[in-house]
Amino acid sequence: MAGIGTAVGRGVDTTYTNPALLSAQHHREFTFGWQSTRFVLYAEGPNAPGDLSEDSLHGTTIGVVLPVPFGDFLEDRVTLGLGVFTPSTLIARARLLYPERPQFPVLTDRAQTLNFNAGAGVDIGYGLRVGAGALALAELTGTVVVRTDSTGRVGTAVDDQLIATYAPVAGASWDFAQDYTAGLVYRGTLRGDFDVVVQVNDLGSLTVPDLNITGVAQYDPMQVQAEVGRRLGAWTFAVAATYKRWGAFDGWQRPTVKCPAAQPDCAALTPEPVEFHDTVVPRVAAAYAFELSPDAKAEVRAGYFWEPTPVGEQTGSANYFDNDRHVLGVGYGLELAEPLPPIRVDVVYQHQFLAPRSHQKKAGVATDNAGYPKVKTGGQVMSTGIALGVKF
Amino acid sequence: MRRGLAPALAALLVAGSLHASPADTFGLGSRSTAMGSAVSADVRDFSANYYNPSGLVLTRGLDITAGYYYADHSLEMNGKDSRVDPVRGIVGGLVAPGSIGFLPFAFGIATFLPDDRISRARASRQEDPRWVFYDNRTQLIFISANLAIRPFEWLSIGGGLTYLAATRGSFGISGTAVLPAGNKTEYDSELRHEVDADLTTERYPELGVTVRPHERLDLALVYRHQAAIELDVDAELTGTVDATLIKVPARYSLDSYTVNAFIPRQVVVGGSYRPIDELSVNLDLKWVDWSSFKSPVSRSSTTLDVNVPPGIIELPPNPKPTQLEEPGLVDRIVPLLGIEYRLEVTPDLVVPIRGGYIYEHSPVPPQTGITNYVDTDRHVLSFGTGVVLREPGALLPGNLRFDAHAQWSILPTRVTLKDSPADYVGDYRARGNILNVGATVSVGFE
C-alpha cells in the first residue's frame, strides 16, 4: 500500500503508520512475518565501480495487537500494539565508510536496522481516535584507553555500551464524513550515533590526540504524514503526503581529531559537508475486498509513491549516492473466519525504480576519485514479504 | 602509534565478558524475586517469559506489569571495594491469553531495560581480577517473547526466544599522525576513520512444560539453551607517522577471534504445592552447564609493518600473543525455595507475604594460576509483600496488584592463594553482599 496507513491502516503496522488506528482493533492478534529485500545498484563512470549491489536482506517481523478490556466508559476504546522487525541478526549497522567510497547510505544501511515500534490508541468517540507510541534504536558509545602496563607492554582498557534512543510517534484519525477518514501522524527524529573515543597514553615518545571514532550510524528524519481515505463499497482509496525534514541532518561522518580550545585552527581533517534538503513524498493506494466464501475474505491492494532524494549532487570528493525513487507495491490478503481457523495471510511485493542520476565533479577533485569526472547512478530494489496473523 | 591503536580498536570490537541474563542473578518481577525465583511451577504473570513460558497460558486474562529494581553491589577484595556498578532499570511485560478455536493460547513478552545502557562490554587482560558474575554480566538488556498452548487441562507447553545484544565489526584509521615538534602539535594530525560495525542480536530458545497431576500440585520442567557469540574481526590501520625530519609509513593489521558472550544451558525442575488455598510452597532445582563456558579472552594475531630509525620514535613492544588458560568452570545445581501466604483481609483485599532462599555454589575453580575470575558461593535471602485489590472499580474488571521485594545476597569470604609467589596479582580474599530492592504494579483483566 506504498506506505499508506495513516488513515486506513490496520493491524500491527499501525504502530508505525498511525497508532491512533490501533483503537479500531477489537480482537487480539499475533503476527509473524518474513521479508526479503534485494538491492541491485550501480554507479557507472570512468572510475566508478559499476555494480554496487548489496547482499539480499532478510528479516522477520513479530507483532501483537492487544485490545485492553477496560470496563465502563473505556470499554472497547483502548488498544496496545507492539511490532518488531529484525533484519537477520542485526540490531543496527554502523557503516561509516570513507566519504569517497561509492555508497548508497540512505537506501541500504537504514534497511539493515531493527525497527521496534510500540504504541497505544484510544477511541475518543465522534469518529476521533488518537494514539501515541515510540520508535527505538540502539547506539554505541564507549572508550578505549591505550597505555603501557607494568611490564612495559601495550595494554588496553575497553568499556563500550549500547544505549537505546527513542523517537516519539503521535497520531490522530477522524472519520469526518461517511466513508471518509483523515489521518495525521508525527514521527520524531530517530538517530543512532556511534561514539567511541580512543585515548592513547604513555606510549614512549609518541603523543597521540584523542581519536574520535564517531559518526551517525542511523538517521530517520522527523516526519509528518497526512492522509485521506475513502471507502466506496468494496473499494478503499487513499492519498497521502509525507514531509521529511532531511534538511536538519548534518551528515554521517565526524572529525577523527578535534581541535582543542587552545588550538582552534589546528590542521585536523574535517569531513566535507553533505547537502541534505527536506522532501515531500506523495502516495496513492487502492484496495478491493471480496468474499471467497462466507467464511473467507480476500483483498487485493496496490500502491505507488514517489520518494525524491534528500541528498544533493555529489560534486565534491564524497560519493554518497542517492536517487529519486518510483515505488510500486502490490499485495494480497486472505482472512478466514469461523468455523475456519481465525487466520490472516498477507503477501506483498514492492519494486523500487531508482531514477538514473548524474553527478558531475567540480574542479579540484582528485582524478582517481571513483566519481571523477562524472558518474551515473541508478538501480532497483525488490522486496517481498509474507505475514501470518492469528486472532486469539 | 600503530602499536597502540590497533590492539585498542580490536579490543573494543571483541570486548568480552561473561554475559548472562540479569534475570539469572536478580530474578524478574517482584513476586517471583521475593519467592527466591522458585516459581517455575507457579508463575502466572509476565515473569513466566523467563521462569517458564508454559505459565503464560495459565493466566486468566490480559495481565500487564511495570516496575523497577535497584541492585547495589558491596563487593571487595582484600578489604578494598571492587567498585562494581549497581544494576537498575525498568522491568515489565505482559501476558495475553486467549484461544485459537478450542485451543487455549497465550502470547507474552518481558523485558528488563537497564537505566544506563542496553549492554556493556569490557575487555581486560586475562590476569586482571574481575567479579566474573557481577562485574559486567548483569549490565544487559533482557527481552524475551514466548507463546504457549494448553492442549489438555493438565498440560501446558510454552516456548520462545530471549534476545541479547552484542557488537561486532571493524574499524579503520588512516592518514598522517604528527609528532609534536616546533609549531606543530599532535592535533595537526590528519587522520580519519571508517567503521563497519554491527550491533547484533543473539537469540536463544527456551521451553517449558507445566503439568498438574493433582489440583494442589503443579510440576514444571524448563530448558534454557546456551548462547555463545563468536566473533571474527579484522582491523587495519594504514598511514604515516610525521616526525618532522622523516615520515615513516606504517601498517598494522589484526585478525581476532573471541567468544564475546556466554550464557549457560539451564534445566529447571520445579514443583509448587498448595496444602491450603492460601499457601504455596515451591521448590526448584536448577542445573547450570557452566562447564561449557568458554574463555572470554580474545585470541588475536597481529602484523606490524613499520620501519622506525633508531632514536626517532620509541615504541613499546608488541603485546605477546595471549596464551589462553581454560577457565575450567564446573556445572552446578542450584536449589531454590519459595513460599507465599495470601492473607485475605477482605474479600476484595489480599495481602501476600513471600519469602525465598537460594544457594549457589561457585562454579569457578580455585584461581591459583594466571586467571583471576573472582567468585564465591552465594546465599540469597528474599522477602516480599504486596496488595491485591480485586474488582477495584467498573473500569477495571479484574485486579490491581502492588508488589515489592527485597533480596539480600551474601557472598562469604573466599581466599585465593597463588601458586607463584611472584604472581602479578598475588593472594587475595574476596567477599561481599548485594542488596536488590524493587517494586512492580500489575493490572490483571479477567
Of A30, A152, A211, the CB nearest to B107: A30
Cα–Cα distance measured from residue B387 to residue B384, given in angstroms and rounded to the nearest whole number? 11
Q: What's the grid cell of residue A38?
A: 534485494
Cα–Cα distance measured from residue B70 to residue B73, given in angstroms and rounded to the nearest whole number? 10
Q: What pLDDT is attached to residue B18?
A: 41
The DSSP element (H or E) to which A56 belongs, if any, is strand A54-67
Bigger pLDDT: B199 or A345? A345
The predicted model scores a pTM of 0.82
Q: Is B219 on the interface with A (CB under 8 A)?
A: no
B155 in helix, strand or coil? strand
A172 closest CA partner among A22, A352, A376, A381: A22
Q: What is the pLDDT of residues A79-89, one digit of tens each?
A: 999 988 777 66
Bigger pLDDT: B59 or A199? B59
A254 closest CA partner among A268, A270, A274: A270
Q: What pLDDT is attached to residue B234?
A: 64
Nearest CA in chain A to B243: A206
Distances (CA, A) of A43 to A19, A377, A381: 39, 4, 15
Q: Are B445 and A68 inside 8 Å of each other by CB?
A: yes
Bigger pLDDT: B157 or A211? B157
Residues of chain A with pLDDT under 50: none
Of B62, B109, B175, the CB nearest to A82: B109
Q: What pLDDT is attached to residue B165?
A: 65
Q: Which residues on chain B are in Cβ contact (under 8 Å) with A91?
A: 165, 198-201
Q: Is B186 on the interface with A (CB under 8 A)?
A: yes
Q: What pLDDT is attached to residue B11?
A: 37
Residue B44 has pLDDT above 80, yes or no: yes
Say how many residues make up chain B.
446
Interface test with B, best of A25, A29, A115, A156 (most B CBs within 10 A): A156
Bigger pLDDT: B339 or A137? B339
B192 closest CA partner among B171, B174, B170: B174
Pairing of strands A50-51, A29-44: antiparallel
Of A72, A91, A198, the CB nearest to B5: A198
Give CA angle at A293 (A289, A296), nearest 5°: 60
Q: What's the grid cell of residue A277?
A: 534538503
Cβ neighbour number for residue B362 with a 10 Å cutoff: 21
Q: What pLDDT is attached to residue B303?
A: 64
Q: What's the grid cell of residue A165?
A: 534512543
Bigger pLDDT: B164 or B156? B156
Q: Is A60 on the interface with B (CB under 8 A)?
A: no
Q: Is A50 on the interface with B (CB under 8 A)?
A: no
Q: Are B125 and A211 inside 8 Å of each other by CB?
A: no
**Buried b / exposed e along B288-318 (16+ C-beta atoms within 10 A):** bbbeebbbbbbebebeeeeeeeeeebebbeb
Least confident of A204-218, B108-122, B149-163: B108-122
Write down the mean pLDDT value for chain A.
89
Cβ neighbour number for residue B145 with a 10 Å cutoff: 21
Cα–Cα distance measured from residue B93 to residue B88, given in angstroms and rounded to the nearest whole number? 17
Q: Are A95 and B147 inside 8 Å of each other by CB?
A: no
Cell 500487564 found at: B64
Q: What pLDDT is attached to residue A192?
A: 85
- Which of B130-139, B265-274, B289-298 reaches the highest mean pLDDT? B265-274
Residues facing residue B383 across a β-bridge:
B355, B406
Q: What pLDDT is attached to residue B181?
A: 79
Q: Which residues on chain A are in Cβ contact (under 8 Å) with B62?
A: 66, 68-69
Q: What pLDDT is attached to residue A232?
A: 95
Write down the mean pLDDT value for chain B.
85
Q: Are B199 and A64 inside 8 Å of each other by CB?
A: no
Nearest CA in chain B to A343: B100
Residue B2 has pLDDT above 80, yes or no: no
Residue B7 has pLDDT above 50, yes or no: no
Q: What pLDDT is attached to residue B1?
A: 37
Q: What's the grid cell of residue B109?
A: 513478552
Q: Is B370 on the interface with A (CB under 8 A)?
A: no
Q: What pLDDT is attached to residue A92?
A: 67
- Supply the ipTM of this predicted assembly: 0.75
Nearest CA in chain A to B149: A392
Least confident of A31-40, B19-28, B180-189, B301-310: B301-310
- Asked whether B402 and B439 are in contact (CB, 8 A), the reply is yes
How far away is chain B from the Cα of A206, in angstroms, using its nearest Cα? 7
Of B100, B109, B175, the CB nearest to A342: B100
Q: What is the pLDDT of residues B352-364, one digit of tens each?
A: 999 999 999 999 9
